């Protein structure tokens, strides 16, 4: 079965096929606005993108995953298409006594710490170092102005008397297609411009003018632009942008249109976000990207699939910044530094020391409800997550130490084969996380009820590792052990003894290597014994020779 995804744009569950016949996938996710620590609701939508990427990679696709950083232009009233209020970065700067750029730097770091802790793959390994996968809005102002200029030239946008630019919603008849909103709703939810220069109340700003704003760009002068940025604007728009666009800053919606095109091209495979992004943010992105299209045959909708995570509630109620009820990732992972939050007393009662939750438990709790369902986050959900992660980990640890025959029992073969099929099918079914987990825990319960051979353990371990490629909650197994001289001799004399220097990645292979070392020493081949010791050390295995045998531990 192919991977199927619920596409918000068509409202249908559809088979996923990438545009590129080679199977490479382009994935864009609306990332954090870096004006405060990110909360668990933000991370649920980032984790949807992470799980989706992991599933695509497990199906053999290579995925280029771009998640932007919004560091300018996101206003406090962002539920309205043409948001008014104060820039979130400026407001935080005022409250913290910092320049907005310092606010952005501080909270970008905070976000990166959370992303690494929660094992977002786009913040691991090479991806973490690749700035093109984490574009920042303030570094893409030329691309935004280029798009704005195209929109003006094609009459999708117009400039008001003070030099602000608005997108004309009437120019794009498909506006409302993604969110399903109809004209009346759109008008009722629109902000009437203070200066009332908007042609239609639904129109939204692409470029804003506010002399008090602390982050400004003058489209007609190199002054104040970071090195090379103004030259890039001139290269993108050789004739210069319209003279009547004034010094100002971009609207939030144009940022993602410009950054996704700059980093992934004019048409992308999948765009993700939280359901609160559907309107207005993503609706506006579609309109802008189409208006600024570079080719005549560009599709109306630049993203072939739109995938959204439903909202997250805490104890049945919506989190609110105004009411101070936001639960940040930091508040759960590191309450000693972040300070107590409203869940802390209940968490302490439930046995979490100081209210601290491990990153694996938080990740598990946030991804174990299907993303197509609203999630109710409670202390009880963390208690359950902790119990489940610990059951999964303890079986995984136990499997490293199983000895005996290499032959797997046919019951275990059948169990693993059917669980594997169910696990993959559940994820193919629009990322049904709870069904995928049911397959994992069916295996865990069965394995815990029976004696296992080394062959069983290998199959079970491979299945648990396959599941963990998606869930990413397991720690590497704690490996240590001790073997007496008698046991080493038995191993070395066993017909199945393998004296080749293989990988020392489980207790069984370490045992084989130690037996080979014992045999070499018995034959007074000290060079060979030393070679094996060095081989083990290179695999992180420390040895401690005792009178009766050897103790070892993998670090
Ligand atoms: Zn966005």
pLDDT in tens, 444-484: 999 999 999 999 999 999 999 999 999 999 998 778 888 99
Distance CA 214, CA 234 (A): 23
Q: pLDDT at position 189, please?
A: 61
Q: From the CB of residue 248, how many other CB atoms can be counted at a distance below 10 Å?
A: 24
Indicate yes or no: pTM above 0.85. yes
Beta partners for 167? 157, 204
Ligand 1 center–CA 439 separation, angstroms: 34
Ligand 1 center–CA 282 separation, angstroms: 7
Angstrom distances, CA of residue 87 to CA of 35, 72, 97, 240: 10, 7, 15, 27
Dihedral angle sign, alpha carbons of residues 236, 242, 246, 252? negative
Closest CA to 281 of 45, 13, 22, 530: 45
Distance CA 458, CA 54 (A): 23
Task: For residue range 371-402, list pLDDT tens digits in order.
Answer: 999 999 999 999 999 999 999 999 999 998 88
Distance CA 502, CA 515 (A): 13
The answer on pLDDT for 519 being more than 90 is yes
Rg (CA), the chain: 28
Q: Which residue has the tokens 């909103």?
A: 181
Q: pLDDT at position 73, please?
A: 77
Mean pLDDT of the region 149-154: 98
Angstrom distances, CA of residue 228 to CA of 140, 233, 510: 12, 9, 56
Distance CA 264, CA 271 (A): 11
Q: Which residue has the tokens 């400004």?
A: 216
Which has the higher per-residue pLDDT, 85 or 187? 85
Ligand 1 center–CA 276 separation, angstroms: 11
CA atoms within 13 A on the CB side of 543: 23
Distance CA 151, CA 201 (A): 18
Ligand 1 center–CA 83 separation, angstroms: 14
Q: pLDDT at position 80, please?
A: 77
Q: pLDDT at position 387, please?
A: 98
Distance CA 94, CA 144 (A): 26
Ligand 1 center–CA 63 separation, angstroms: 19
Q: From the CB of residue 74, how many other CB atoms can be counted at a distance below 10 Å?
A: 22
Burial 293-312 (b: 16+ CB within 10 A, else e): beeeeeeebbbbbbbbbbeb
Structure tokens at 422: 């169910």
Distance CA 136, CA 104 (A): 10
Distance CA 302, CA 292 (A): 11
> 454-471 and 410-428 helices cross at what angle (nearest 10)?
10
Beta partners for 313? 318, 376
Cβ proximity of 343 and 39 under 8 Å: no
The answer on pLDDT for 512 being more than 80 is yes
User: Would you place residue 323 in the very low, low, confident or very high pLDDT band (cuts 50, 70, 90)?
Assistant: confident
Distance CA 65, CA 179 (A): 24
User: Would you place residue 196 in the very low, low, confident or very high pLDDT band (cuts 50, 70, 90)?
Assistant: low
> 283-291 and 252-264 helices cross at what angle (nearest 10)?
60
Ligand 1 center–CA 253 separation, angstroms: 6
Ligand 1 center–CA 176 separation, angstroms: 17
> 523, exposed or middle or buried, with CB in 10 Å at 0-12, 13-18, 19+?
exposed
The answer on pLDDT for 167 being more than 70 is yes
User: Would you place residue 188 in the very low, low, confident or very high pLDDT band (cuts 50, 70, 90)?
Assistant: low
Mean pLDDT of the region 43-71: 97
DSSP labels for 386-433?
HHHHHHHHHHHHHHTT--S-SPPPHHHHHHHHHHHHHHHHHHHBT--H
The answer on pLDDT for 508 being more than 70 is yes
Cβ proximity of 93 and 201 under 8 Å: no
Ligand 1 center–CA 534 separation, angstroms: 51
Q: Strand pairing of 12-15 and 4-7? A: antiparallel
Q: Which residue has the tokens 């009233």?
A: 77
Ligand 1 center–CA 144 separation, angstroms: 13
Angstrom distances, CA of residue 36 to CA of 139, 183, 212, 214, 313: 20, 35, 21, 18, 19
Ligand 1 center–CA 29 separation, angstroms: 7
Ligand 1 center–CA 341 separation, angstroms: 28
Ligand 1 center–CA 363 separation, angstroms: 23
Ligand 1 center–CA 316 separation, angstroms: 27
Percentage of the chain modeled with pLDDT above 90: 78
Q: Strand pairing of 63-67 and 25-29? A: parallel
Structure tokens at 34: 């870096």
- Examine residue 280 and say whether the peptide bond preceding it is cis (omega within 30 degrees of 0): yes
User: Would you place residue 81 in the very low, low, confident or very high pLDDT band (cuts 50, 70, 90)?
Assistant: confident
Ligand 1 center–CA 512 separation, angstroms: 54
Q: pLDDT at position 504, please?
A: 82
Ligand 1 center–CA 423 separation, angstroms: 31
Burial 36-58 (b: 16+ CB within 10 A, else e): bbbbbbbbbbbbbbbbbbbbbbe
The answer on pLDDT for 184 being more than 80 is no
Q: Average per-residue pLDDT in the chain?
A: 93
Q: pLDDT at position 192, please?
A: 59
Cα distance between the two ends of the chain:
41
Cβ proximity of 510 and 541 under 8 Å: yes
The answer on pLDDT for 131 being more than 70 is yes
Which has the higher per-residue pLDDT, 313 or 340? 313
> Which of 125-134, 162-171, 378-387, 404-413 is predicted with the least confidence, judged by mean pLDDT?
404-413
Ligand 1 center–CA 278 separation, angstroms: 10
User: Would you place residue 194 in the very low, low, confident or very high pLDDT band (cuts 50, 70, 90)?
Assistant: low
Cβ proximity of 54 and 473 under 8 Å: no
Angstrom distances, CA of residue 107 to CA of 113, 363, 454: 10, 20, 48
Strands of 16-62 (E only): list them.
25-29
Ligand 1 center–CA 263 separation, angstroms: 13
Cβ proximity of 241 and 282 under 8 Å: no
User: Would you place residue 191 in the very low, low, confident or very high pLDDT band (cuts 50, 70, 90)?
Assistant: low
Q: pLDDT at position 232, please?
A: 97
User: Would you place residue 346 in the very low, low, confident or very high pLDDT band (cuts 50, 70, 90)?
Assistant: very high
Q: Print the SS3 string covering 421-481.
A: HHHHHHHHECCCHHHHHHHHHHHHHHHHCCCCCHHHHHHHHHHHHHHHHHHCCCCCCCCEE
Q: pLDDT at position 89, please?
A: 85
Task: For residue range 420-453, list pLDDT tens digits in order.
Answer: 999 999 999 999 999 999 999 999 999 999 999 9
Structure tokens at 426: 């559940």
For ligand 1, a single-atom ion, the residues with CB < 5 A are: 30, 256
* H or E, element range at 26: strand 25-29
Distance CA 463, CA 336 (A): 37
Structure tokens at 411: 């019951």
Distance CA 109, CA 69 (A): 11
Distance CA 269, CA 16 (A): 9
Ligand 1 center–CA 169 separation, angstroms: 19
């Amino acid at each position: 079965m192919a991977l199927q995804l619920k596409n918000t744009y068509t409202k249908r569950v559809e088979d996923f096929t990438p545009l590129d016949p080679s199977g490479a996938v382009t994935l864009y996710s609306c990332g954090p606005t870096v004006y405060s620590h990110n909360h668990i609701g933000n991370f649920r939508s980032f984790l949807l993108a992470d799980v989706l990427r992991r599933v695509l990679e497990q199906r053999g696709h290579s995925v280029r995953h771009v998640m932007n950083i919004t560091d300018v232009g996101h206003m406090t009233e962002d539920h309205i298409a043409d948001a008014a209020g104060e820039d979130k970065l400026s407001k935080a700067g005022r409250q913290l006594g910092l320049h907005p750029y310092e606010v952005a730097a501080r909270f970008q770091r905070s976000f990166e710490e959370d992303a690494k802790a929660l094992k977002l793959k786009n913040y691991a390994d090479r991806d973490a170092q690749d700035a093109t996968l984490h574009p920042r809005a303030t570094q893409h102002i030329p691309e935004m102005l280029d798009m704005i200029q195209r929109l003006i030239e094609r009459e999708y946008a117009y400039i008001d008397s003070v030099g602000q630019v608005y997108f004309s919603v009437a120019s794009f008849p498909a506006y409302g297609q993604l969110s399903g909103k109809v004209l009346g709703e759109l008008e009722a939810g629109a902000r009437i411009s203070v200066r009332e220069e908007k042609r239609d109340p639904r129109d939204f700003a692409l470029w804003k003018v506010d002399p008090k704003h602390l982050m400004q760009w003058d489209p007609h002068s190199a002054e104040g632009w970071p090195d090379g940025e103004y030259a890039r604007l001139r290269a993108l728009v050789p004739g210069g942008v319209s003279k009547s666009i004034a010094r100002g800053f971009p609207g939030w919606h144009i940022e993602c249109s410009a950054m996704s095109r700059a980093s992934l091209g004019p048409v992308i495979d999948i765009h993700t976000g939280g359901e609160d992004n559907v309107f207005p943010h993503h609706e506006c992105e579609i309109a802008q990207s189409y208006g600024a299209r570079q080719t005549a045959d560009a599709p109306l909708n630049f993203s072939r699939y739109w995938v959204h995570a439903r909202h997250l509630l805490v104890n049945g109620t919506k989190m609110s910044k105004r009411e101070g009820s936001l639960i940040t990732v930091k508040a759960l992972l590191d309450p000693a530094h972040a300070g107590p939050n409203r869940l802390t007393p209940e968490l302490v009662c439930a046995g979490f020391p100081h209210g601290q939750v491990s990153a694996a438990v938080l990740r598990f709790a946030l991804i174990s409800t299907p993303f197509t369902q609203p999630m109710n986050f409670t202390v009880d959900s963390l208690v359950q997550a902790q119990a489940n992660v610990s059951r999964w980990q303890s079986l995984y640890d136990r499997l490293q130490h199983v000895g005996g025959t290499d032959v797997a029992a046919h019951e275990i073969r059948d169990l693993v084969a059917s669980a594997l099929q169910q696990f993959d099918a559940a994820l193919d079914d629009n990322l049904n996380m709870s069904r995928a987990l049911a397959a994992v825990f069916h295996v865990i319960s069965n394995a815990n009820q029976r004696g296992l051979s080394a062959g069983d353990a290998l199959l079970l371990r491979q299945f648990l590792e396959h599941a963990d490629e998606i869930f990413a909650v397991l720690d590497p197994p704690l490996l240590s052990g001790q073997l007496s001289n008698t046991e080493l001799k038995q191993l070395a004399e066993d017909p199945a003894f393998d004296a080749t220097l293989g990988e020392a990645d489980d207790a069984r292979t370490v045992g084989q290597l130690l037996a080979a070392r014992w045999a070499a020493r018995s034959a007074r081949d000290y060079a060979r014994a030393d070679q094996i010791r060095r081989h083990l050390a290179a695999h992180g295995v420390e040895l401690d020779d005792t009178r009766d045998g050897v103790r070892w531990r993998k670090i």
